[in-house]
Amino acid sequence: MNVAEIFGSNVFSESVMKERLPKKVFDEVMHVMKNGGQISMASADVVANAMKDWAVEKGATHYSHWFQPLTGITAEKHDAFITVPENGKTLLQLSGKQLIMGEPDASSFPSGGLRATHYARGYTAWDITSPAFVKEQAAGVILCIPTVFVSYTGEALDQKTPLLRSMEAINEQAMRIVRLFGNTSATKVIASVGPEQEYFLVDRQKYLKRRDLIYTGRTLFGAPAPKGQELEDQYFGSIRERVGAYMKDLNTELWKMGITATAQHNEVAPAQHEMAPIYTTANIAVDNNQLAMETMKRVATRHGLVCLLHEKPYAGVNGSGKHNNWSIGTDTGENLIDPGDDPSSNLRFLLILACIMKAVDTHADLLRQSSANVGNDHRLGADEAPPAIISIFLGDQLEDIVEQIVKHGTADAAKKGGTLDTGVSFVPLLNKDATDRNRTSPFAFTGNKFEFRMVGSSDSIASANTTLHAVVAEAFCDAADILEKSTNFDEDVKKLIAEYMTKHQRILFKGNGYSEEWIEEAARRGLPNLRYMVDTVPALTTDKAVKLFEKFNIYTRAELESRAEIMYATYSKSINIEAQTMIHMAGKHYVPTAVTYTTKLAQSIAAVSSVGVDSSVQQELLNDCTVLLKRMKEALKKLIADVEAVTKIQDVCEMAHAFHDIIVPDMVHLRTPVDELELFVDKKEWPVPTYGDLMFEV
């Protein structure tokens, strides 16, 4: 396989445009891509036609406005290129208008009250900054045009619109900081993101036997397998052939669509893996990640596998997240998060760092909210992922500098990394990083970027980055407001750095984020600990949040309120599906299995006793099973009754809380006896594949 040849072959990239567009039109597109603004209708016609010709050469039959509604996944509606036939012949066509705008009948996407169904108009509009591509699937080859999705009155109904707005905000505010330090050549600051995507693979035939996996993406029942991840033999382990074949195929598909899949390895849990691309501009990274998740699922079916993106498919083993690596840099190639050789004297870096500390501390609740989804409730705060408390890990070098600045107002030379001697004579001395890693931190500095490790594996990274851009833009804006007026810049900037670092030092934490002590310590420091998704929703609509997002035109109050409503509704719907699935599985699978098994035991007891042999073991088994069966039946009854009551609640917030407070514990009560029963029922009788079958037979 020649990677260079296939890479990007399905992307309508800059070089394809250069080749296929008249120079004038190409220049116009480039100008709008870089500086914003509108492309003329005449040029749009030319671009559309070139795009269509290119796609048709690739075998495309349809085009689609590809967008990201608030369902967390992408949406597409295919329209064939064909026009009304004349003399029995059709022309293949894509007009500028069709390229620029679409009007999906979108009344059934979540809008959180922004649109009553009778005002159903929603529009998709071309995002010229993200390249069009063709997608090869069973439905044919489809030309996908990345778009934003807004309501008739211009409110964002998607993930993309606020993200693009937030990128403009951080660009504008970061440029003010860049200018303050005398840089006159840069014209733009761009946010970059590299998301590491974790996932599980499971055999498709086994998957199809589990209603919980099918309906909810996770197992709702299941006793632990005899072997888990305790030997730590899976992480970075050699990749099994079947999984390897999948990865190879996946890479090829991703590369064709211009996605730079590079890293691949086994993760901590059995059958868990990771894929990471090379970082790119934030909105492209978001598109690419959505596309990657979709492709991961699609390719899996070809290998008789299913790709599980749920944050916690199996209880008791490592869950999946997404590490959102983030930095900002100028269009002249300078990374603003790079401390350089001596951070202690790099005032621009220190100011940016101080602003980020301020931003994360001030809006810890919002950052936590931005990474909340239903599945992440199982993952955050368990002993594998960061807790639900936001804190920053800077590493020894920078922490030392911050400490000095807080104490003395300035810092002396920074600690250096030094060299590492392995003690093996022929191994070269290695240059060490100045800081170690901290896997337990939700927001960790990793040399020249921050790694926001909280995002869930199935979630879009759009909202996390939108929030990140907003909070940092605000801190930059506050700092620039002060410093632009300064008459003694050097002194004032140092004062401001010291002030911010002192005030927001509490957000720094380098210890074990998984520990009980940290939870107590964080409470003493007054840091929010928003353990569950339902607890994070109010952060969206506080005065602080509304002021922040409205100031930078990222969300209006109405958009924030609609998102809060969608979060509550999504939570309730998801838990309801899980509860209904459990009711189904318990009623149709587990209770009948327990009944059959107890009957068999009873028959065995009768048979054994009739020949005068001791049947006490069977009797004990029968007793235990009967007790579990009874617990199961009672828990099932309670779950059914509670779900019925909870779904009658009118208020969305109240309903979501009731699902969390009443139904989730009910589900645990039903699960426990089933899992206990699994341990002693004959494997042949057990109605579904076990954890061992699912995780170790891939």
Return the number of the residue (276 or 374) whose C-beta is nearest ligand ADP: 276
Binding partner of 183, given Mg ion, ligand ADP, none, CB within 5-8 angstroms per partner class: none
390 close to 322: Cβ distance less than 8 angstroms: no
335 binds, among Mg ion, ligand ADP, none (CB under 5 to 8 A by kind): ligand ADP
From the list ligand ADP, Mg ion, none, partner contacted by residue 326 (C-beta under 5 to 8 A by kind):
ligand ADP
Binding partner of residue 574 among Mg ion, ligand ADP, none, CB cut-off 5 to 8 Å per kind: none
| Angle in degrees, 0-180, between the axes of helices 282-302 and 160-180, rounded to the nearest 10 | 140
The token pair that represents 447 in the structure block: 């040399």
Task: For the chain, give percent helix, strand, coil, nearest 5.
Answer: 50, 15, 35
Q: Is 264 in the site for ligand ADP (CB under 6 A)?
A: no
Site for ligand ADP (CB under 6 A): which residue of 279, 489, 514, 686? 279
| CA proximity to 694, closest of 274, 249, 224, 376 | 224
Direct distance between the N- and C-terminal alpha carbons of the chain, in angstroms, rounded to an integer: 26
Amino acid at 76: E
**Binding residue for ligand ADP (CB under 6 A) from 263, 413, 607, 645?**
263
Q: Say which amino acid occupies 88.
A: G
Could you tell me the smallest distance in angstroms from the CB atom of residue 511 to ligand ADP?
20
Site string for ligand ADP, 175-194 (x = CB under 6 A): -----------------xxx
| CB closer to ligand ADP out of 438 and 615 | 438
Q: What is the C-alpha to C-alpha distance for residues 377 and 364, in angstroms, rounded to an integer?
A: 17
If one asks whether residue 646 binds ligand ADP (CB under 6 A), the answer comes out as no
Binding site for Mg ion (CB under 5 A): 323
What's the min distance (Å) between Cβ of 278 and ligand ADP?
A: 4
Q: In this chain, which of 146, 162, 277, 321 binds ligand ADP, going by CB under 6 A?
A: 277
Distance separating alpha carbons of residues 215 and 205, to the nearest angstrom: 15
Q: Choose one: 168-176, 272-280, 347-355, 604-612; the region binding ligand ADP (CB under 6 A).
A: 272-280
Tokens describing residue 574? 């998801």
Q: Which of 269, 228, 266 lies closest to 244 in space, CA to CA?
A: 266
664-680 vs 557-585: helix crossing angle, rounded to 10: 30
Tell me, rounded to whole angstroms, the distance of Cα 89 from its chain centroid. 46
Our finding on whether 449 is near ligand ADP (CB under 6 A) is yes
Count of residues binding ligand ADP (CB under 6 A)?
16
Angle at 523 between CA 519 and CA 528, to 5 degrees: 95
Closer residue to ligand ADP, CB minimum distance, 189 or 646: 189
Amino acid code (one letter) for 464: A
- For residue 404, how far is the Cα from the chain centroid? 36
Residue 652 binding target from ligand ADP, Mg ion, none, CB below 5 to 8 Å by type: none
Query: Would you count residue 281 as binding ligand ADP (CB under 6 A)?
Result: no
Quick one: which of 308, 239, 298, 246 has its CA closest to 694? Answer: 308
Q: Which residue is nearest to Mg ion (CB)?
A: 323
Q: Which stretch binds ligand ADP (CB under 6 A): 102-110, 271-279, 359-367, 517-525?
A: 271-279
Q: Give whichever of 165 and 323 is closer to Mg ion, judged by the CB atom.
A: 323
- 326 binding ligand ADP? (CB under 6 A): yes
Residue 435 as a binder of ligand ADP (CB under 6 A): the answer is no
The answer to whether 343 and 414 are in contact (CB under 8 A) is: yes
Query: Which residue from 129, 281, 448, 505 is in contact with ligand ADP, where contact means CB under 6 A?
Result: 448
In 320-425 the beta strands, taken as DSSP E runs, fall at 322-330, 392-393, 419-420
Sites of contact with ligand ADP (CB under 6 A): 192-194, 196, 263, 276-279, 325-327, 335, 446, 448-449
